[in-house]
Amino acid sequence: MGRTTSQKFNTAFLQDTNKLNKSKLVLSNNFQVFHDLLNGEGTTVESNWKEIKEAITSTCHEVLGHKKHHHKEWITVDTLDKIQERRNRKGNNQYQPNKSIKSQDTS
């Protein structure tokens, strides 16, 4: 069985009562549909777990959204731009021959 990366949802939105109530409503609707499926014959524990997991993740995805990665406060946007600029320069210079070595050979 392969592992998958965990999905992180923006749970800070649950502090907002509107988002909390909406998530409760959507989750209860999803579980009502799941409960109707449970009444059928031939369901296994694995299939039940997949349905529960899908109900929870789809509700979180719909209501909360994914958690965005935030950089630490001590890294400013200007610093991040400089880091990216340096990465770009290093990437461009990696495939070009070093000009200083050629100029030394001609001397």
What are the pLDDT digits (tens) for 2-53?
A: 566 677 877 777 788 888 888 888 888 877 777 776 666 667 888 878 888 8
Residue 49 structural domain: 11-63
Domain presence at residue 69: no
Domain presence at residue 103: no
Domain presence at residue 105: no
Sign of CA dihedral 12, 18, 21, 27: negative
Q: What is the number of domains present in the chain?
A: 1
Q: What is the pLDDT of residues 55-81, one digit of tens each?
A: 888 888 888 787 776 656 677 778 888
pLDDT top residue among 12 and 106: 12
Domain presence at residue 77: no
Domain presence at residue 20: yes
